[in-house]
Chains A and B, each alone.
Chain A
Amino acid sequence: MAEEPAPGARIVRGHVGIGPRVSGEALVAEDHFSARYDLDRIAGVFSRPSHKLHGQSYVGKVLVLIGAKGGVATAWMLRNMAEAGRAPLALLLNTSNPIMAQGAAFADLAFMDRFETDITKAVAMGDRVTVDPAGGIIIIDKR
């Protein structure tokens, strides 16, 4: 199943994750993630005024952030968002908490953490990223 990475593409290793292999455009910030605290889940944008991605759409993006914050609601919400076509394509965090993993497992969302490097610095906004949770790697094609 593994295809050859494009010339110049970079492979970054992480812990084996959850969910399907996907490819998409990266949306990156040095900030945290909580579906309840940070998102307008109807509009599909970050709604928390203090969030670094405030006003930006996360729908269909490979969302790359530092870690999880906030409460437990994300565990339910990711599946609702996915079925409504209002979910990110994948979620990559430096450090997860149980809620994100539980939500990703429930929603079957591509999800990884514990990378060999700070993932918010390795991936730039707009890069094309292939996420392979079962293989524990991501492939970054610089835009």
Chain B
Amino acid sequence: MRLNDIEQAMLAGALGEPRRWAIEQQRRVGRFFDAEDFVPIAQVHLMADAESLGPVGVEFLEKMAAAPPEHRRVRVPSITDPRGIDFDAYRRLGQTEAMASLERRAIDAFRAMGFLMTDTCINYQTVMPPVLGEHIAFGDTGSTIYANSVQGARSNFEGGPSALAAALTGRTPRYGYHVPEGRRATRVFVLRDRPTDLSGWGALGGVIGRKLQSYWQVPAVMGVDEPPSSDELKHFGAALASFGTVALFHMIGVTPEAPELPAVLGPVVPATQSIGADDIADFYASYGGGGDKLDVVVFAAPQLSLVEMQQVADLLDGRQVHPQTAVLVVTSPEIKSACDRLGLTQRIERAGAIVLKGVCFYQMHAREIGEAMGWKRLMSNSAKLVNIIGGYGYTPSLGSMAACIDAAVAGKVPEKAW
């Protein structure tokens, strides 16, 4: 890889040990992907929940944070993904003091490095939306795919160590979605039936994601006549990234790089595949659980927007969650503040649900929570969450937001939830 003067200085340790570690980490990854050089970035979004970090990761951060300020401070605006502990609610969820202590140590280290603790995966809706052509380093698959696709920014998946390195150096290796050739569509899907709600858009992302096999594939979706909402695209992208491990989609006539299909095609024109309501119904049915006692309903992954919080509140008004079922509604700290101010939190919690802030369910020691609370059957309107949570010992069901609320009130999973 070609390194310019400042990058050479970082590698030589002239700007301190944290930046030396960072550029070395980035150079190893850049070489692996045949990057020719680095590209400056405008902002960093870091995924570093304490469950992923573990004690080893937290000790690593603390060493960084102990360096002199001129060595440890981030070089570009750097914000954080959801964390593992909501300090106002963790005891109610069976989380331990050890978990909370690890979380506090990680937060202290990030603050010392100059990170803004936004604790959100919907930063593209709520903090600083990236702009067309902007190079960034985003560290959540859902935030990356939204920024790349809907906003036309340029980012690879930057896992925690990599996003941390990008924050310390202000650059990232130029490969993958930073390179125009990497952004061309390699698969084309034609939508026959438009999804009717958020979980339907998530299911569509799951259907297409299951057909993709690699990070380097870029799906183009045709047949979407009217633009989906930001929340619909959020659920679609999050599920597509989760099931397909892809970081970019083009929606023809909707996303900014794809006014028409030829604009995103390379020299090889891929065959088209048709997706319809039957595919989406099969996707829902693959989860099942109809008739089972329902332990917990989770609205998260991605965190809910203010509009989604209002929808949950509307659906819960005048109703009461079944005593044997828990409902968790998860959003960012900023949206939670708005919900408090607008009375939405009170309306949701009056019905027996719990509003959590700054966390996401699968990032908060979900296995231990399930064991502590006796939760097994989980229902969500997030296709992404039901994809992840099976590995944590839960048996997931997928349904629309309205079906999830009905199920929470009834205390059992309906036969048909969409």
Contact = CB atoms under 8 A, between A and B. Distances in A.
Contacts of B244: 69
Query: Which secondary structure dominates where chain B touches chain A?
Result: helix
Interface residues of B, number: 46
B162 interface: yes
Given A36-B362, A102-B29, A102-B159, A76 B52 contact: yes
A103 B387 contact: no
A121 B377 CA distance: 37
Contact of A76 (B29, B160, B215): B160
A111 B21 CA distance: 20
A18 B388 contact: no
Interface in B30-60: 31-33, 47-49, 51-57, 60
B47 A72 contact: yes
Contacts of A105: 25, 28-29, 32, 161
Contacts of B393: 47
A98 B159 contact: yes
Nearest to B384: A71
A42 to B, nearest CB: 9
A138 to B, nearest CB: 16
Contacts of B216: 95
A64 to B, nearest CB: 16
Interface stretch (A1-9, A77-85, A124-132): A77-85
Contacts of B49: 73
A1 B391 CA distance: 40
B245 interface: yes
Contact of B52 (A36, A68, A84): A36
A36 B54 CA distance: 13
Interface string A85-115: 0000000000111110111011000000000
Contacts of A53: none
A137 interface: no
A76 B161 contact: yes
A102 B213 contact: no
A99 B390 contact: no
B32 A97 contact: no
Contacts of B31: 16
A97 B161 contact: no
Given A95-B215, A101-B32, A71 B242 contact: yes
Contacts of A36: 52, 362, 388, 391
Contacts of B103: none
B157 interface: yes
Contacts of A80: 52-57
A84 B243 CA distance: 29
Contacts of B57: 76, 79-80
A106 B157 CA distance: 15
21 contacts: A17-B32, A36-B362, A67-B213, A67-B215, A71-B241, A72-B140, A73-B51, A73-B52, A75-B159, A76-B52, A79-B57, A80-B56, A98-B33, A98-B162, A98-B215, A99-B157, A99-B159, A102-B29, A102-B159, A102-B161, A106-B161
Closest 5 CB pairs of A and B: A75-B159, A97-B215, A80-B54, A106-B161, A102-B162
Given A15-B32, A32-B245, 9 more contacts: A47-B391, A47-B392, A69-B244, A79-B56, A79-B161, A84-B54, A98-B29, A98-B157, A105-B32
